[in-house]
Amino acid sequence: MIDLIRSLLKRPVAPGECDRLRLAVATLLVEAATLDGRFDEAERTCVLTLLSARFDLDQDEARCLLAKAQAAAAQSVQMVGMTQLVKNTFDYDQRVELLEMLWEVAYADGQLHDYEANLLRRMAGLVYVSDQDAGAARKRVIARMGRTDGIA
């Protein structure tokens, strides 16, 4: 799975755009994690793991990126701008993989809050991923988690 996540950035990105993209992805993950009013240790660990794997960061770099993302999320940064950067930078498969990352964070605490589910559905539209592919991404995450009850 880590190799799959690392392969998400297939095309080179300009250095400044790369930093903005990393912050955008991290902030979206934080948004997914905090919509239920909590950011527990399981969600924090999941976000750090995904950021480390996705952007090939060591733990200190991932923690720094997470701190910046939390600050950005606390400032009510416009999600549309972040998703537009993702949509314009990632190819379609990479955007589907981003949705999988977001579902992993949303399910990290073992529950899916209605606000989290709503965010992920809106996110799919904002990054131009079809409903069918977004649903398949969610099912893949549920299967990887070993859940058979289809956590609602």
What CATH number did the domain enclosing 20 receive? 1.10.3680.10
Cβ neighbours for 84, distance < 8 A, ≥ 6 positions apart: 126
Q: Is the pLDDT of residue 149 over 80?
A: no
Backbone angles phi, psi at 146, to 5 degrees: 75, 20
CA end-to-end distance (rounded Å), the chain? 24
Amino acid at 49: T
Residue 7 to residue 1: CA distance in whole angstroms: 10
Residue 113 lies in a domain: yes
Residue 150 lies in a domain: no
Total domain count, the chain: 1
More confident residue, 13 or 28: 28
Cβ neighbours for 9, distance < 8 A, ≥ 6 positions apart: 54, 55, 94
Residue 123 lies in a domain: yes
Please give the structure tokens belonging to residue 85: 């950067």
Residue 151 lies in a domain: no
The string of pLDDT tens digits covering residues 33-84 is: 888 888 889 999 999 999 999 889 999 999 999 999 998 888 765 777 888 8
Query: Can you give the pLDDT at residue 38?
Result: 84
Q: Is the pLDDT of residue 10 over 50?
A: no
The reported pTM is 0.75
In angstroms, the Cα distances linking 71 to 23, 76, 85, 90 are: 10, 9, 19, 24
Residue 63 lies in a domain: yes
Domain extent, residue 68, equals 2-144
Tell me the mean pLDDT in the region 75-94. 84
